[in-house]
């Protein structure tokens, strides 16, 4: 379900817009490091708890997706394995692994930029939050700065093909 970022900013304050700014900055940092440009930010009560970008190559860890790293850092910041009342802002629809982590962390709301018809696990692919085995499903809002997120990914992969 796509929502205009201005609507969410009015509902949740300007922190939503700022969170996406930080997520896109993190995604660009990932691209400069040769990582797939995805950035994620965890916010609670308008305060940023964690910002991360994809780092599987740098960390030699296939699970080092932006969402996983942001969730880990936010959990460490608050001293709890559950992120109740927290929102996650990410530039790309999370994959099934990240969707599972979002569920286990009890993220309240997920906001993402570009859809991922090939590798997504939220509104594409296995649709993790729609499964009867899913213990917690956050509210999900997609399509934020979608064109910007998609172009960042297109440019990254086009550069690698040249």
> Could you give the C-alpha distances from 5 to 52, 97, 156, in angstroms and in order?
21, 26, 24
> One of 10, 12, 35, 67 is an active-site residue; which one?
67
Which 3 state secondary structure label does DSSP give 144?
Answer: coil
Using a CB cutoff of 8 Å and minimum separation of 24, what contacts does 153-156 make? Answer: 153/36, 153/37, 153/92, 153/114, 155/31, 156/31, 156/36, 156/37
Whole-angstrom Cα distance, residue 20 to residue 141?
Answer: 13
Is 67 catalytic? The answer is yes
Whole-angstrom Cα distance, residue 143 to residue 115?
Answer: 7
Where in the sequence numbering do the catalytic residues fall? 67
């Amino acid at each position: 379900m796509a929502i205009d970022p201005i609507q969410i900013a009015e509902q949740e304050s300007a922190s939503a817009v700022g969170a996406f700014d930080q997520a896109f900055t993190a995604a660009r940092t990932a691209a400069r490091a040769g990582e797939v440009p995805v950035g994620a930010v965890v916010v609670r009560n308008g305060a940023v708890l964690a910002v991360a970008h994809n780092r599987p190559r740098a960390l030699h860890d296939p699970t080092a997706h932006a969402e996983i790293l942001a969730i880990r850092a936010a959990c460490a910041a608050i001293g709890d394995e559950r992120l109740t009342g927290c929102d996650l802002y990410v530039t790309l629809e999370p994959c099934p692994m990240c969707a599972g982590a979002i569920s286990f962390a009890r993220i309240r709301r997920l906001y993402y930029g570009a859809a991922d018809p090939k590798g997504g696990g939220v509104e594409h692919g296995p649709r993790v939050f729609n499964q009867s085995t899913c213990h917690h499903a956050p509210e999900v809002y997609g399509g934020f700065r979608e064109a910007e997120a998609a172009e960042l990914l297109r440019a990254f992969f086009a550069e690698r093909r040249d």
